[in-house]
């Protein structure tokens, strides 16, 4: 270290004299000291104030320039040296050197700037102000096609520099995207796929940029999908495949890229991985199985990519995914059920799958998860059943297959996501199915659970679906017994509250159900309707200009139906409904205006 102090003194003198030979000797000594103990040497250099002199040594003419840049690259490996490098004014001359024709100068300059930018806001800012990124991107473009080792090393350093410059910084990443870095990097990957270090740099850069929404369109206009799949097929090592997965996942969120990946043959690779890893208990294999099957499900979220893989239900991919459902591997069961839910996004697919026995497979899967089951699998299987129940022709088939019984086994679940899907599945199944609606509506256990969930204020989704199912049981069954069960279980107040929902569709469903209650079982429900303040709510809905026409219409229908109850009739008279209703006779909606006339007559007669 005494030697180092001498070198630093000598360097200060030499820097002024500019004697190239002794300058080179000093720089060699410094590089040697840095190689032996980087941190201590850097601290000494910082203390000596030598960094300030380095700016004047970074000249294109000097034969020592590359070594000066190398010294800076080495000291900037230390976090505490990055801001001092910026403060010493080194960024501007370093960026000027990026215009050099000397390959070694470019290499060391790229390293120096990359290390100064690493995790350093000040470093990045200074490089940004000096315009360094554009020059580096231009170099990448012009050197892209040259495959000799020295050039590939330089390309790797430049990619690394851009990565350190923009890592986790959205605005700098956006700047690189606007400069057109994506097509250049994709081209690099295609040409240099044999070079492991450069490939790895490109992948990390893609991983960073792909998180940005604005990058997706640029990626979609390149052949990234093809290049990544080609690269993926060649990889045997888990870590390398993991790196490619990390780029594929964010890219596959874009529908256009999903389709490109499917066309490039990614799905076949994923199916192969699943087959290879399914029986392994090695941690890496389990992780890869999960990543592969998750990515497969993600590809099915795009309408075009999903339809391409469905191939009319005859496709190899669809058949393979079907075989995951009865497997003993939870991850595969989950991915299989989610994939079916994604395939079940149009009527044609749903009808085909139900006709070909998918419902029985899903019911068997649910059966295996009733006691202490896997919640994610329960949720996924119920999601699939709910989607399959949407087409009208499927409802009766699914009901006769016993789906309601399979679903009701999960009534005791305490998991909101499972509760939510269970409710949605039942609601889809009973739509326009009077017999099924009546059967479920007389099931006291179910109705009591629904009433309990109607109060699940922490879970708005569960609360909304419970209300909607209560209403659907009445609307589709039109059954007195169902209404009695709901009254006895305390469900009326929830239907009245539902009429004030912010969602018009829910308001409407509630009002129609309440009108049926008033028409079929007014005597039974009278007290509950009174204590829930239904009449006051209807007055508010009719008086509110923001209420949708169908809400006004159904509120008036309900008012007429309530006249059969003495106590409710009295409430209607006390609230001066005539004034509100007569105003609605001139409503722009013909049905509302017509119903207002009828209601006005009814109120006038009854008063």
Which tokens sit at 533?
């303040």
Cβ–Cβ < 8 Å for 334, 384 = no
- How high is the mean pLDDT of the chain? 92
* Per-residue confidence (pLDDT) for residue 327, from 0 to 100: 92
Distances (CA, A) of 179 to 100, 139, 371: 21, 13, 56
What confidence score (pLDDT) does residue 79 get?
A: 95
3-state helix, strand, coil in the chain (%, to 5): 80, 0, 20
- How sure is the predictor about 19, in pLDDT bands with cuts at 50, 70 and 90? low
C-alpha distances (whole Å) from 277 to each of 271, 282, 289, 296 are 10, 9, 6, 15
| 80, HSE (Cβ side, Cα atoms, 13 Å) | 10
Buried b / exposed e across 285-296, counting CB within 10 Å, b at 16+?
beebbbbbbbbb
Asked whether 342 and 306 are in contact (CB, 8 A), the reply is yes
Rounded Cα gap, residues 210 and 173, in angstroms: 10
Taking CA 240 as the corner, what is the angle to CA 176 and CA 262, rounded to the nearest 5 degrees?
A: 75
Q: What is the pLDDT of residue 267?
A: 92
Helix axes 170-178, 149-166, angle to 10 degrees: 130
Given a contact cutoff of 8 angstroms between Cβ atoms, the answer to whether 454 and 411 are in contact is: no
Contact 148, 123 (CB under 8 A): no
pLDDT in tens, 294-346: 999 999 998 999 999 998 888 888 999 999 999 999 999 999 999 999 999 99
Taking the CA atoms of residue 335, residue 340, residue 343 and residue 344 in that order, the dihedral angle to the nearest 10 degrees is -140
Q: Which position has the token pair 């028409």?
A: 519
The DSSP call for residue 96 is H
517 vs 19, more confident:
517
Q: What number is the average pLDDT over the span 409-418? A: 93
pLDDT band at 575 (very low <50, low <70, confident <90, very high): confident
SS3 of residue 123 by DSSP: helix
Q: How confident is the model at residue 2 (pLDDT cuts 50, 70, 90)?
A: low
Minimal CA–CA distance to 90: which of 111, 101, 102, 103? 111
Question: Residue 15: pLDDT band by 50, 70, 90 thresholds?
Answer: low
Q: Quickly state the pLDDT bin for 372 (edges 50, 70, 90).
A: confident
Least confident range of 8-12, 207-211, 584-588: 8-12
Q: Each residue of 112-155: pLDDT tens digit?
A: 999 999 999 999 999 999 999 999 999 999 999 999 999 999 99
Which whole number is the average pLDDT over 2-31?
Answer: 78
Q: What pLDDT does residue 313 have? A: 86
130 exposure class (CB count in 10 Å sphere: 0-12, 13-18, 19+):
middle
Query: Count of alpha carbons within 13 Å of 253, Cβ hemisphere only?
Result: 12
Instruction: Answer for the pair 497, 533: CB distance below 8 angstroms, yes or no.
Output: no
Burial class from Cβ neighbours inside 10 Å (0-12, 13-18, 19+) for residue 178 reads: exposed
* pLDDT tens-digit series, residues 256-294: 999 999 999 999 999 999 988 888 889 988 999 999 999
Over residues 439-485, the pLDDT tens digits come to 999 999 999 999 999 998 889 999 999 999 999 999 999 999 999 99
User: What is the per-residue pLDDT for 181?
Assistant: 94
Tokens found for residue 100: 């050099």
| In the chain, % of residues over pLDDT 90 | 76
The DSSP line for 493-511 is: HHHHHHTT-SSHHHHHHHH
CB 431 within 8 A of CB 468: no
What does the pLDDT look like over 41-57, one tens digit per residue? 999 998 888 888 888 88
Res 67: pLDDT:
94
Rounded alpha-carbon distances, angstroms, from residue 233 to 230, 236, 239, 270, 366: 5, 8, 14, 10, 35
Confidence of residue 541 (pLDDT cuts 50, 70, 90): very high
212: nearest Cα among 265, 242, 186, 250: 250
Please give the Cα distance from 267 to 248 (Å, whole number): 12
pLDDT for 227 beyond 90:
yes
Q: Rounded to whole angstroms, what are the CA distances from 261 to 72, 237, 238, 295, 575?
A: 43, 21, 20, 11, 65
CA distance 261 to 252: 8
């Amino acid at each position: 270290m005494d030697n180092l102090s001498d070198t630093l003194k000598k360097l200060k003198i030499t820097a002024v004299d500019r004697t190239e030979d002794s300058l080179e000797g000093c720089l060699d000594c410094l590089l040697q000291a840095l190689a032996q103990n980087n941190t201590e040497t850097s601290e000494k250099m910082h203390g000596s104030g030598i960094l300030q002199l380095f700016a004047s040594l970074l000249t294109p003419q000097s034969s020592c320039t590359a070594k000066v840049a190398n010294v800076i690259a080495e000291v900037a490996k230390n976090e505490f040296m990055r801001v001092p490098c910026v403060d010493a004014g080194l960024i501007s001359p370093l960026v000027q050197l990026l215009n050099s024709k000397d390959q070694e100068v470019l290499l060391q300059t790229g390293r120096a700037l990359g290390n100064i930018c690493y995790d350093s806001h000040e470093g990045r800012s200074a490089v940004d102000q000096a315009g360094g990124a554009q020059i580096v991107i231009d170099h990448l473009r012009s050197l892209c096609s040259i495959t000799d080792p020295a050039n590939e090393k330089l390309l790797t350093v430049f990619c690394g520099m851009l990565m350190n410059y923009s890592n986790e910084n959205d605005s700098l990443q956006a700047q690189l995207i606007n400069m057109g870095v994506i097509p250049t990097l994709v081209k690099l990957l295609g040409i240099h796929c044999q070079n492991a270090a450069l490939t790895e740099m490109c992948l990390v850069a893609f991983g960073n940029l792909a998180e940005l929404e604005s990058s997706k369109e640029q990626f979609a206009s390149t052949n990234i999908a093809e290049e990544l799949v080609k690269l993926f097929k060649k990889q045997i090592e888990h870590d390398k495949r993991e790196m490619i997965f990390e780029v594929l996942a964010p890219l596959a969120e874009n529908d256009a890229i999903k389709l490109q990946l499917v066309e490039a043959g990614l799905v076949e690779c994923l199916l192969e991985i699943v087959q290879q890893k399914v029986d392994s208990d090695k941690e890496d294999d389990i992780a890869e199985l999960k990543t592969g099957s998750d990515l497969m499900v993600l590809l099915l979220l795009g309408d075009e990519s999903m339809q391409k893989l469905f191939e009319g239900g005859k496709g190899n991919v669809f058949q393979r995914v079907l075989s995951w459902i009865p497997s003993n591997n939870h991850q595969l069961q989950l991915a299989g059920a989610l994939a079916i839910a994604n395939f079940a996004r149009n009527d044609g697919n749903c009808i085909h799958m139900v006709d070909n026995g998918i419902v029985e497979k899903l019911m068997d899967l649910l059966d295996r998860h009733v006691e202490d089951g896997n919640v994610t699998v329960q949720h996924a299987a119920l999601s699939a059943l709910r989607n399959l129940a949407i087409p009208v022709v499927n409802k009766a088939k699914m009901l006769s297959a016993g789906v309601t019984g399979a679903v009701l086994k999960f009534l005791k679940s305490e998991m909101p996501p499972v509760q939510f899907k269970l409710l949605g599945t039942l609601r889809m199944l009973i739509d326009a199915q009077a017999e099924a609606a009546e059967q479920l509506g007389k099931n006291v256990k179910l109705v009591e659970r629904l009433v309990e969930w109607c109060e699940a204020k922490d879970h708005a989704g569960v609360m909304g679906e419970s209300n909607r199912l209560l209403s659907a049981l009445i609307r589709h069954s039109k059954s007195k017994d169902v209404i009695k069960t709901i009254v006895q279980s305390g469900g009326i107040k929830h239907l009245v509250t539902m009429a004030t929902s912010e969602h018009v569709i829910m308001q409407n469903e509630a009002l129609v159900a309440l009108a049926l209650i008033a028409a079929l079982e007014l005597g039974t429900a009278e007290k509950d309707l009174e204590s829930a303040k239904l009449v006051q709510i209807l007055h508010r809905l009719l008086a509110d200009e923001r209420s949708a026409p169908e809400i006004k219409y159904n509120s008036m229908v309900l008012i007429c139906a309530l006249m059969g109850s003495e106590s409710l009739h009295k409430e209607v008279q006390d609230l001066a409904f005539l004034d509100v209703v007569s105003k609605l006779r001139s409503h722009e909606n013909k049905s509302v205006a017509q119903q207002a006339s009828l209601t006005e007559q009814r109120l006038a007669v009854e008063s």
